[in-house]
Amino acid sequence: MSRLSDAYKNLKDKLSPEVTGEVAILLSELGSAIEKTEKNLDEVIKESVNRKETIQAKEEELRKLNETITELTKKLTDYEPIVKEAEQYKAEVEKTRKQKEEEMIAQWNKILPILNANQKSPIFDKVQKIKKYFKLPKDENEKLSLDEIKQNIDIFEHYQAIDYFSDIPSDTVPEYEKSGKTDKKEQKTEEGSNAFEGKFKEFNPNQI
């Protein structure tokens, strides 16, 4: 029992049990008010306790979060040199890739005019026999994929390796040289065999 309730009980005991009228009404109202006040006070205390527990839980979560942030910050600091090195390597790889692509496209731009030789060209007949093995653009606006260009270059260089145009005067054949190309004699295989046979499903440079 609270001190307020105790005071009210003592007051009620001291008053005559026969008290009536307005005093009795006031005494009853006072008792109701005290009861209501104590009930509200209990609710406030419970709410305060719950709020305190909630605050403590949030403070613990914040503490753990700060520890995680500190740990991650340290790891990021440790990994920073590795990340910079990886970014530098990535940039070098990308630069090399673009350079290879540009070289491959330049090679193809030298080969395409040969495959598009017109009827007046001395290599026209030979080109027509092998043209079906290449993926050629339908018009000047069509762009081949890098994979298609690479396959075209490989096929053309296989024909170069077997001296496909060797019986045509060199001054009538458009110039084409692969960068870093080895001597033709080293590229020739034994008589009756071809090292590139079977690499392409529909392509055999010995069967024209």
Burial class (CB in 10 A: 0-12, 13-18, 19+), 67: exposed
Check whether residue 48 and residue 11 sit in a common domain: yes
Say if residue 16 is in the same domain as residue 88. Answer: yes
Report the pLDDT value the prediction gives residue 102, as an integer from 0 to 100: 93
100 is a domain residue: no
In a domain, 170, yes or no: yes
Does this model's pTM top 0.85? My answer is no
How many domains does the chain fold into?
2
Whether residue 128 is contained in a domain is answered as yes
Sign of the Cα pseudo-torsion (108, 106, 196, 119, in order): positive
Distances from the Cα of 27 to the Cαs of 8, 15, 95, 129, 161, in angstroms?
9, 10, 95, 121, 120
pLDDT tens for each residue of 23-44? 667 767 777 887 788 778 878 8
105 φ, ψ (degrees, to nearest 5): -65, -40
> Are 178 and 131 members of one domain?
yes
Range of 152's domain? 116-187
